[in-house]
Structure 1
Amino acid sequence: MSKNRKHVAEFLDNALTDCAQLTPEESYFSYKGVLYPTSICKQETLEALESFEARKDDVILAGYPKTGTNWLDHILNSLESTAAKYTDEQMKKRIALEKELEMTPRLEFGDPDKFKRMEKLPSRRVIITHLSPHSLPKSIFRNKAKVLVLIRNPKDTLVSYFHFCNNFFCFPNYKWDEYFSDFMNGKVGWGSYFDHVAEWDKYIEDENIVAISYEELKENLNLGLKKIAKFFGFSLTEEEIQSVAEKSSFKAMKEKGSETHGVYGDVFFRKGTVGDWKSLLSESQSQEMDRRFEESVAGTKIGAKLKYEVYCKV
């Protein structure tokens, strides 16, 4: 039994209204050297992040944009609610409370007062963010909340992010070569992919943090779900794991996209494949990415989990 968060679509609709008034130059703002989309993030909210008080039993997912966070958001909610054995009435109350409290789909989205409202949410809270460790509230680490770090190979992340920006209202349209350059230089929403991965690598030995790759979930979703369930302490049977896996396939998510994300369902769930980078990257761009990966994260433990040689070489 998964949460049907229709208020996510409502949040996106409201953001569309705000976005319509923005020029391309106003689409982003910079906070501490990192760009954020103006229509869904506010500087005041980022400044107020430290007021968020994490709980030890929070279920936190952190992933750079377009690494599969919408997919894993659904999976985590399904695992949590299945393990908790909520009745239909309990589930309805939880969903109604989220809507009443105007919960936004990412920790850093929305207004700065949201952190006070989040205190009214019952445990276990499922919290999703695109933020790097240095931008997250310190209470997450102080209170030893568990964080699942989602990673995806940089070439597919780049291509997925490019298509997303050109099909989603919050971002100005880009030409491919222009976007490639901006991505490589960290001039995109949430900053540098490479810095994000390298920063999380510093925490990879923490017992409350574990990394999982988009690719390993695509290879064997059942095995990935068991790993996630064990990490968060979800007590689930083999049958329950299988049921969540079947309902969480990319095909199933895409079919329900209009239900969960309104008219933007096809934008959030475009292809869901591994290797789509071959459709856009030129040979020179591919080699440039290879060099950058080698220089920045190839030698890290989290970088090794990406299996770059398998997924990013022809």
Structure 2
Amino acid sequence: MAEETTGFIKLDKLLIPLKDNKNELMFSYKGVLYPRRLCCAETFEALETMKVRKDDVLIAAYPKCGTNWAVHILNNLVAASYKDYLPGKTLQVLEFGTPETVKEMEDQPPPRVFTTHLHYNNIPKSVFENKVKILVIFRNPKDTAVSYYHFYNKNPLLPNVSSWDEFFQMFMNGEVGWRSYFEHALAWDKHMDEENILILTYEELKENLYEGIKLIADFYAFPLSEEKIKAIADKATFQEMNDNSPQTHGALGPIIFRKGEVGDWKTLFTEAQSQEMDAKFEECLAATKLGRKLQYDKYCKF
């Protein structure tokens, strides 16, 4: 078996040199904001014809819903299942980098583990044509918003926001990177019952990490023993990942790992903001299958 491993973003490889002296950190592509130093229009165009394989592993998540957590889990599940699996030292986010990055991903041997924050409609069509199995992670919208706010102000590749109040309105209006949380959720809700898609929530993983990892292992048909799954779960807690982040994520560790709590939204939301989010959720997601899975009343009410 391959040794335990993890993935992380190695920015010196993925940063895109700017062609001008403008200081804008974000750019718009087809109406969606992306970080200018990580994404470019040419990469999105290259992704449209990217060659995917049926045995690829794809993780999809709106920003700050648990991407790094899911990548850590899946990299270790794959490493335990394929003795020759040697993951690159770069967390392979589909939309990060240049067209050359896409070509490098295409040339990698199987199994390949990718992740993306892209909206369902913007994921390369060949992913769905080849029925690639996709693990989708969602988190309750209030904790997502608070985590994203802190991420904006700690990450030098994203613009600072003057206040939580300003960011809250940006989040509600979909004026943040990768656009609206609610648009993402509504798109995935339409595909929840498809056999190649598994949707788990951040809260489910927090409440029973072993069962969550077992679900993922079963979904991908990884032939692992209960003991091995438990060993992976023991090393996939937030505290364990945070403690190891200087080795796995370097300088990005403090940016990516903050609290990892459920309910941290109560530290910033005002009563009026909570009610505004409640109304938005009721309008968009309350009646959907994904909305019910998010257990909004349990995790998002004072």
Query: What TM-score do you get using the length of structure 2 for normalisation?
Result: 0.94
The whole-number CA distance in structure 1 between the counterparts of 2:8 and 2:66 is: 19
In the TM superposition, what whole-angstrom CA distance separates every residue of 1:80-123 from its partner, at most 9, and x where no partner exists?
11122x2xxx45xx34xx35xxx553110000122222222111
Letter in 1 for 2:298: V
Deviation at 1:269, TM superposition (A): 0.8
SS of 1:51 mapped into structure 2: coil
SS of 2:27 mapped into structure 1: strand
Return the structure number with greater helix share: 1
The whole-number CA distance in structure 2 between the counterparts of 1:138 and 1:173 is: 34
4+ residue runs over 6 A deviation: none
The whole-number CA distance in structure 1 between the counterparts of 2:76 and 2:46 is: 29
Letter in 2 for 1:212: L
Q: Which residue in 1 is equivalent to 2:188?
A: 200
**Which of 258, 271, 281 is matched with 1:293 structurally?**
281
SS of 1:256 mapped into structure 2: helix
SS of 1:70 mapped into structure 2: helix
Deviation at 1:7, TM superposition (A): 6.3
In the TM superposition, what whole-angstrom CA distance separates every residue of 1:241-284 from its partner, at most 9, and x where no partner exists?
01100111101110111212211201101100000000000000
The reply on whether 1:163 has 2:150 as its aligned counterpart is yes
8 Å CA contact retained: 1:8, 1:105: no
Deviation at 1:192, TM superposition (A): 0.3
Over aligned residues, Cα RMSD in angstroms? 1.9
More relative contact order in 1 or in 2 (CA 8 Å, sep 6+)?
Answer: 1
The reply on whether 1:261 has 2:263 as its aligned counterpart is no
8 Å CA contact retained: 1:39, 1:170: yes
In the TM superposition, what whole-angstrom CA distance separates every residue of 1:138-158 from its partner, at most 9, and x where no partner exists?
000000100111000000000
The whole-number CA distance in structure 1 between the counterparts of 2:69 and 2:9 is: 17
The reply on whether 1:73 has 2:106 as its aligned counterpart is no
The reply on whether 1:176 has 2:176 as its aligned counterpart is no
Deviation at 1:8, TM superposition (A): 2.2
The whole-number CA distance in structure 2 between the counterparts of 1:254 and 1:18 is: 32
8 Å CA contact retained: 1:8, 1:260: no
Q: Which residue in 1 is equivalent to 2:110?
A: 123
Q: Which residue in 2 is equivalent to 1:138?
A: 125
Deviation at 1:10, TM superposition (A): 3.8
Deviation at 1:124, TM superposition (A): 1.2
Q: Which residue in 1 is equivalent to 2:215?
A: 227
The whole-number CA distance in structure 2 between the counterparts of 1:240 and 1:187 is: 42
The whole-number CA distance in structure 2 between the counterparts of 1:82 and 1:153 is: 30
The whole-number CA distance in structure 2 between the counterparts of 1:7 and 1:308 is: 31
Q: Which residue in 2 is equivalent to 1:154?
A: 141
Q: Which residue in 2 is equivalent to 1:211?
A: 199
8 Å CA contact retained: 1:151, 1:214: yes
The whole-number CA distance in structure 1 between the counterparts of 2:8 and 2:254 is: 15
Q: Which residue in 2 is equivalent to 1:2?
A: 4
The whole-number CA distance in structure 1 between the counterparts of 2:138 and 2:97 is: 24
Residue 9 to residue 265, structure 1, CA distance change in 2 (3 Å): farther
Q: Which residue in 1 is equivalent to 2:237?
A: 249
Q: Which residue in 1 is equivalent to 2:97?
A: 110
| Percentage of identical aligned residues | 51
The reply on whether 1:274 has 2:262 as its aligned counterpart is yes
Residue 300 to residue 231, structure 1, CA distance change in 2 (3 Å): same
In the TM superposition, what whole-angstrom CA distance separates every residue of 1:12-52 from its partner, at most 9, and x where no partner exists?
7x56x869x652xx111111111111111111111221121
8 Å CA contact retained: 1:60, 1:146: yes
Query: What TM-score do you get using the length of structure 1 for normalisation?
Result: 0.90
In the TM superposition, what whole-angstrom CA distance separates every residue of 1:37-70 from its partner, at most 9, and x where no partner exists?
1111111111221121221111111000000101
The reply on whether 1:188 has 2:176 as its aligned counterpart is yes
Letter in 1 for 2:139: R
8 Å CA contact retained: 2:137, 2:201: yes
The whole-number CA distance in structure 1 between the counterparts of 2:216 and 2:32 is: 30
